[in-house]
Amino acid sequence: MIEASGLRKLYGQTVALDGVDLAVRQGEIFGVLGQSGAGKSTLLRCVNLLERPDSGTVTVAGRELTKLGERELNQARQRIGMVHQHFALLASRTVAGNVAFPLEVMGVGRRERDQRVAELLELVGLGGRGKDHPRQLSGGQKQRVGIARALAGRPEVLLSDEATSALDPGTTESILGLLKSLNRELGLTILLITHEMNVVKSICDSVAIMENGRIRESGGIGELIRTPGSRLTREIFPLPEPAAGHITLTFTGHPEEPVISEVVRKFDVDVNILGGAIEELAAGSVGRLRVDLAGGERDNALTYLRERGLLVEVAG
């Protein structure tokens, strides 16, 4: 649905994007994770060509946007919704007026426009608030208006620029729940940028980790969790660096068998648990356990754990 290849963007001598490749599948929620200055916002703005890359290509829904003229590009952008960090609502307009604005630009008639606005406000949980002004709304309600406005043109893709970073934790959870339901009910492809790991854990199917204008790691959450040395796994489970010989076990789902107990019985090994945690992700449960394993048939025990589907990493 979204393909970016070799994107490079400079601001003077500053390299904001340095050869970025990105692939987002239709119907998934894809998160771009990174700290301030990593290049996330520039990447998002290059996807809908609000920023034109110095080199590279962007293709959305089969159309290579970087080849389009201004008129064709404006038409293509109507299929791409955008949700902003600080809402970007028009203070002089009502809630309904804000949602209707892109429809007015598109030349949609008054009756159809009013009907669409009413549908959208119900969809985002703001039915009956159309006559209010933004100043009368909470932060979460303002973001719901922003989401409704972004959906006005029935987009295939929704871009989210740190949409929850200005919200409190409870409101953040409700907005993420709304995005997840829109993805499921409308088949909407969502590309969101964030510096918050909790956002990725809550709703993302796939993720790219950005740093200094480059993507350091990218893929499905489950795929990356099962990859030795994954940056994502280290971010989710910030365990201390292991000492030589220590073993880190990563597993998905809830084990149906007591594998640690079986390893002790079958291979006569001593297991010392050094730390660990279980996290509930959008992709399912993931656990990570740091152990020291000694004595008995240690190598056979490690083979047994791998055969049971665990990722086994031995330090050093």
Say which CATH superfamily domain 2-220 falls into.
Answer: P-loop containing nucleotide triphosphate hydrolases (3.40.50.300)
- Answer yes or no: is pLDDT of 129 > 90: yes
Average pLDDT score over residue span 111-116: 96
pLDDT band per the 50, 70, 90 thresholds, residue 297: very high
pLDDT digits (tens, 9 = 90+) for 60-69: 988 999 999 9
Domain ranges (residues) in the chain: 2-220, 237-314
Q: Give Cβ neighbours of residue 79 (< 8 Å, ≥ 6 apart).
A: 60, 61, 153, 154, 155, 156, 157
Kindly tell me the number of DSSP H helices and DSSP E strands found in the chain.
11, 14
pLDDT value, residue 255: 65
DSSP 8-state symbol, 1: -
pLDDT band per the 50, 70, 90 thresholds, residue 199: very high
Cβ–Cβ under 8 Å, residues 312 and 305: yes
pLDDT digits (tens, 9 = 90+) for 216-257: 999 999 899 889 889 998 888 888 888 999 999 998 877 667
Architecture of the domain spanning 237-314: 2-Layer Sandwich (3.30)
pTM (two decimals): 0.90
Residues 14-37, buried b or exposed e (16+ Cβ, 10 A)? ebbbeebebebeeebbbbbbbeee
Please give the helix or strand (H or E) that residue 36 lies within, else none. none
pLDDT value, residue 283: 77
